[in-house]
Amino acid sequence: MVKKIISTLFLGILLATMIPTFADAAITINYVDVPIDDSLNIRKSPKATAAIITNLEAGTEVNVYSKTKGWAKISANGIEGYVNSSYLSSEKISPASISSYKVKAISVAKQYLGTRYRWGGITPKGFDCSGLVKYSYAKAGKTLPRTAAAMYKKGSSVNTLKAGDLMFFAPNRASKPTHVSIYIGGGQMIQSATSKGVSIASISNSYWKPKYIGAKRI
């Protein structure tokens, strides 16, 4: 009987040591890459509907154990969980760059007011809508996909707009985005439109407002 108990205890200890934990995995260091006034949610499991454990401020250093299907298994400040891996950077983020990249992207776009619209254009010789957004954010240090539809898959959805958020438009809500602009504050957006090229318009514009399908914060 004693031997059986000892054997059972030994087996339990052995199995416990074989169960992988966060601490058993190889670690890489990343940093939270979100705007200075935002935060990154740590969730209990790798899905957007999972419960939020806590959130991390911009620039926070995190230990990353694995990344798969858009999620990273991490620990930070003694807490373990999962975060959206698109908001992690391998480079240390300075508070100055966190707070200024959206401002810079808007500033870059404004430099090209009056530039003609050009289908497929991604340079100051002529921009299409996503070309202007991609170019402006690239100059601010952020790489975005080429098309409005691909951009719409990035970032987090927002209901209350802040300067630098991307606004998306489509013929109807069942369609993929066909147009993208940058919200610049004050109820206005900057865009490259077929009729006026790079220009500023009201988000309440009678043409664009019915086509608005949502915004993303990058």
- Residues 70 and 108 grouped into a single domain: no
Q: Is 191 tagged catalytic?
A: yes
Could you give the residue ranges of the DSSP H alpha helices within the chain?
2-18, 95-111, 129-139, 148-151
Q: Which one of 129, 140, 167, 182 is the catalytic residue?
A: 129
pLDDT at res. 174: 79
Strand partners, 31: 61, 89
pLDDT at res. 166: 97
The domain total for the chain is 2
- Residues 209 and 107 grouped into a single domain: yes
Structure-token pair, residue 95: 């508070």
Strand partners, 122: 127
pLDDT at res. 9: 47
This model's pTM is above 0.75: no
What's the farthest any 2 CA atoms get from each other in the chain? 88
Q: Which one of 85, 115, 147, 191 is the catalytic residue?
A: 191
- Residues 66 and 85 grouped into a single domain: yes
Quote the domain boundaries for residue 108: 95-217
pLDDT at res. 15: 44
Burial class, 97, CB count within 10 angstroms (exposed 0-12 / middle 13-18 / buried 19+)? middle
pLDDT digits (tens, 9 = 90+) for 61-117: 999 999 998 899 999 989 999 998 878 888 876 665 555 788 889 989 999 999 999
> What is the spatial distance between Cα 1 and Cα 187, in angstroms, rounded to a whole number?
78
Closest to 141 (Cα-Cα) out of 99, 111, 182: 99
Closest to 154 (Cα-Cα) out of 175, 128, 173, 134: 134
Q: Is 129 tagged catalytic?
A: yes
pLDDT at res. 95: 62
pLDDT at res. 35: 66
pLDDT digits (tens, 9 = 90+) for 36-50: 666 789 999 998 888
Q: Which one of 73, 102, 134, 179 is the catalytic residue?
A: 179
Domain boundary among 89, 124, 145: 89
Residue 52 near residue 41, CB atoms below 8 Å: yes
CATH of the domain at 113: 3.90.1720.10
- Residues 21 and 80 grouped into a single domain: yes
- Residues 7 and 49 grouped into a single domain: yes
> What is the spatial distance between Cα 77 and Cα 79, in angstroms, rounded to a whole number?
6
**Lowest-pLDDT range of 30-34, 52-56, 199-203, 207-211:** 30-34
